[in-house]
Chain A
Amino acid sequence: MKVTISPAPHIKSQQTTKKIMLSVFSALLPTGLWGIYKFGIHAGYVILTSIASCVLFEYISQKFIFKTKVKISDGSAALTGLLMAYCLPPNISLWQVCIGSFFAIFITKECFGGIGFNIFNPALVGRAVLLASFPSAMTKWQIDGITSATPLGILKEKLTGSLPSYTDLFIGNIPGSIGEVSKILLILGALYLFRRKIISWHIPITYILTVAVLSIPFKQDPIFQLLSGGLILGAFFMATDYVTSPLFVKGKIIFGFGCGLLTVLIRNLGSYPEGVCYSILIMNILVPLIDRCTKPRIFGRKR
């Protein structure tokens, strides 16, 4: 008889990296479909282009440049593509999307050593690069054929346009990035991830609460602040990115608070209307430091 000799444990959980990516992917699908329905078929092309180019860049860099094992089947590149598309305007040119993907996958992820080793959230770097390179294309919002400003844009520029109702904000009846407008679908997706225990409450809830509370001294309506911009998408799906967020519970709370603080500061004092992307990227830099300071206490030892 041929037997296997291996160290304990001899049974493992069913969870794999691939399944986690798939779960996040499915949690995000409804809001993307809503985006396509709301903004038109071009939004769908943007999503597909983003996913395809991200996977392609990962394949090329692993196969030909770094000559490591090709790991595109773990789904992480496709997820990055999806997430990046979700924070892009629906009418952006497809070639611009590809540039974003290049920075997201090749520069931010593969050059740092591939999955698990990147310091910054790839999707957010992709978006940040595009915003810096093509500011006009990145801030042109169209809904039902009419160009208009996003709710936060209206606030920021003190435009005369009327602000949308809470209901419109909640359902996603507003101009904005492809995947971030429908808060209800995003929250449902997040609930699914909570249920599957893929994300924990620590980062997103601290983040959202911080934004709500700190909006008050700036004389902003907290509910409006929560429901507009990329906060919900960012808090539940970007800030919770395993690779670029802290490992320990205490650190996660600090991270969530930091993201919230920076978001409020950028929204109110910065020149861009929206601070989610940058606040998360800035907090990403601090993760190693946060991890170092928040190690858990060992059983039977004093701290």
Chain B
Amino acid sequence: MNKFKGGIQIPERKHTKNIPIEEMPLPQQAVVPLSQHTGLPAKPVVKTGDFVKTGQLIAEATAFISATLHSPVSGKITAIESRLHPCGYNFDSIIIESDNKDETVEFKGKNPDKLFPNEIVEIIKNAGIVGLGGAAFPTHVKLSPPKEKKIDSVILNGCECEPYLTCDYRVMLEETEKVFSGFNLVMKILNTENGYIAIEDNKPEAIEKMNVIVKEMKQHPNPALPAKLKIVKLKTKYPQGAEKQLIKAVLKREVPSSGLPMDVGCIVHNVQTAKAIHQAIYEGQPLYERIITVDGNVKRPGNLKVRIGTPLSQVLDYCGGFTDDVKKIIAGGPMMGITQFSLDVPVVKGMSGIVALTEKESKHYEPTNCIRCGKCIDVCPTGLVPTLISRLVEKKRYEELKNYNPLDCIECGCCAYECPAKIHLVQNIKLAKVMIQK
């Protein structure tokens, strides 16, 4: 089994892995931030007072690295104003009051065999698809590599390595065909020979399901698809799902520092993104909903299909509210997610889960002196020296920081997780990044 250096074993806590995906009722009011993706915010094409249908374009991309937005409900636009975003800042958002009819615009699917790759990419772009693994990078950008970068491999990322989260796993189990078909489209667009389906070995059922499909494919080869497909079983460790680490584990290639996967001829897509691509092409449905995991101290944890823009409060109410004295509400997983101070924030495209933790589960420790145990160095997947970077930051010796390359940090949090002295290592490295860029 190939692997990348470093990483940690975290108790999994995938409590919701056997709970099927459930569709959540429509939100009364959807809050759609104009910026839910890497790149420039979208520009509204509707105005207050307009009536919109579900799936109707409400904001268009403003640049190449930007993404369009579609209405998640049918109803009336009541405002376009600044609202709190799960990242902790305010962003301009389109507020839509639902009429509870969920009237959709007419979705028209297409047969991709009759389309040129650039036409397929155009549909994906118009569907507002972004990476649904968490980083929310616009998908059409990934699918349009510059000509000189030849992409020879595509990886489907089925390594959901954050504790608690199981939404990607459920999607792989319940929507296997759609995921697979979306992945095939990606291969077709990029005209690549090799496709890899990377799944961690703690998800045997998902591997089994994928295996069945791949076997079927091989028995009935489709000449339109250049299929050299391989299922890669990977060791369960965190951060196995991190793009660069995944490429290293699957292809033994190292994406250069500050480079992109396409620099080593490779592109990675999350399973939900693949599913969204399938829906955009075959069903004509733009991206206005996603699957999230709700877990922790909620009465009915589970995997929910949620419309983008649904306030967290409504999601949590639907899950029966909290069971215990919750001290932390995290958007995303506990390793890289962001704590929320208001439940008014909406579900956005990049949000993969909501986890509610008690004081005990998310214990706060006072940092003590570094005892140079070197654990942070052993677990760092990037080969950094978190303890020295952190010490230089604390001593404000910013000049020396450059020798330790904090900009290469992927902020996975392995160092801070392992540190026995409980030093705020990632926090300090993030600070180092800011200091260095000044």
Contact = CB atoms under 8 A, between A and B. Distances in A.
B63 interface: no
Contacts, number: 146
A8 B383 contact: no
B335 A10 contact: yes
Contacts of A15: 375, 418, 420
B135 interface: no
Contact of A300 (B336, B364, B387, B408): B408
Interface stretch (B27-35, B71-79, B139-147, B250-258): B250-258
B341 interface: yes
A266 B323 CA distance: 66
Given A12-B417, A115-B371, A298 B337 contact: no
A12 B385 contact: no
A4 B328 contact: yes
Contacts of A20: 371, 373, 420
B413 interface: yes
Interface residues of B, number: 65
B320 to A, nearest CB: 16
A278 interface: no
B426 A9 contact: yes
Contacts of B364: 4, 6
B426 A7 contact: yes
A247 B383 contact: no
A166 interface: no
A242 B383 contact: no
Interface in A167-189: none
A243 B244 CA distance: 32
Contact of B326 (A1, A8, A248, A296): A1
B299 interface: no
Contact of B387 (A10, A247, A295): A247
Interface in B386-424: 387-388, 405, 408, 411, 413, 416-422, 424
B383 A116 contact: no
Contact of A3 (B329, B361, B411): B329
A300 B5 CA distance: 12
B361 A11 contact: yes
A9 B334 contact: yes
B interface secondary structure, majority: loop
Contacts of B43: none
Nearest to B374: A247
Contact of B257 (A3, A7, A301): A301
B10 A300 contact: no
Contacts of A7: 339, 424, 426-427, 430
B369 interface: yes
A71 B422 CA distance: 15
Interface in A2-52: 2-13, 15-17, 19-20
A64 interface: no
B382 A299 contact: yes
Interface in A262-300: 295-300
A247 B385 contact: yes
Contacts of B363: 12
Contact of B365 (A2, A9, A16, A299): A16
B329 A10 contact: no
A114 interface: yes
Which residue of B10, B336, B374, B382 has the most chain A CB atoms within 10 A of its CB atom? B374
7 contacts: A5-B339, A8-B336, A10-B355, A12-B363, A71-B368, A298-B405, A300-B259
Given A3-B340, A8-B334, 11 more contacts: A10-B330, A12-B365, A15-B375, A15-B418, A17-B420, A20-B420, A71-B369, A116-B369, A247-B387, A248-B374, A296-B377
Smallest CB-CB A-B distances: 5 pairs: A9-B413, A116-B369, A300-B257, A10-B334, A242-B373
Interface of A: 1-13, 15-17, 19-20, 71, 74, 76, 114-117, 242-243, 245, 247-248, 295-301
